Amino acid sequence: MSAALEIRGMSKTFVHRQTGRREQIFDGLDLTVEHGELVAVVGASGTGKTTLLHLIAGLESPDSGTIELGGPDRTPRLGMVFQQPRLFDWLPALQNVELATDAAGIGRPAARDALEAVGLAKYARSYPSVLSGGQRQRVGLARAFAIDPDVMLFDEPFSALDELTARRLRLLAQDLWLERPRVGLLVTHNPLEATFLADRIIVLSGSPARIVAEHRIDAPRPRQPEDDDLFALHRTIVGQLV
């Protein structure tokens, strides 16, 4: 079976506006993600993790190479969870989610169902300004999953939260992921988060970024953060990053 996401020979260079200096982010990157697989890309700041997601989502264009998503016969529905939830402050939680379902041509009941799935049904009429950081990120998760995406992109989704809140939301994200097989790519600088959520981990290093290691995680889901095998793999990945 062909990969659901396939990147071949992708290169990307940015030119700094103030200095004119050219910085090559990727040089001939190859990466595949299979149907039903959640792949985590781990690397230090500046290794192009967010740029990778932007290229896949079509927010940026590669200089060369190809990105094939979903095959030639259909355009997949794509959901994205950002580091900051990027909510509209003048709209209550439910309407923030309904913006996504309306754009995707999905009935509005899906937005209410998604809010209920993330435990925020009673906050449907609350504005972002009165929600906690964790609650706002739950709205972001609801918005992404409400459209029942074929492809999910996670851009450091829990890095701005305290560890206790992040832990709760990782468990929630795992539950949402288990509802339906899809294609997923998570970028994070947190190896423990990657080992908990992913089926496979790719370690990026250097500039331009290159794949320096790859790990497959055989632990069945649902997983628990305290799993000794996950901690052991976490230590291995940390050693590859430092």
As a three-state string, the secondary structure of 30-42 is: EEEECCCCEEEEE
Dihedral sign (CA 142, 217, 156, 100): negative
Q: Give the pLDDT of residue 71.
A: 63
- More confident: 44 or 116: 116
pLDDT tens digit sequence for 144-177: 999 999 999 999 999 888 899 999 999 999 998 9
pLDDT band at 70 (very low <50, low <70, confident <90, very high): confident
H-type alpha helices, 67-220: 93-103, 109-117, 133-146, 163-178, 191-197
Burial (Cβ within 10 Å: 0-12, 13-18, ≥19) of residue 239: exposed
**What pLDDT does 144 receive?**
94
Tens-digit pLDDT profile for residues 34-67: 999 999 999 888 888 999 999 999 999 999 999 9
Q: Kindly tell me if the per-residue pLDDT of 184 is higher than 70.
A: yes
- Please compute the mean of the pLDDT values over residues 22-30 and round it to a whole number: 92
Give every CB contact of residue 13 below 8 A, 6+ residues apart in sequence: 22, 23, 24, 25, 63
Q: What pLDDT score does 121 carry?
A: 95
Rounded mean pLDDT of the chain?
Answer: 90
The mean pLDDT of 199-218, rounded to a whole number, is: 90
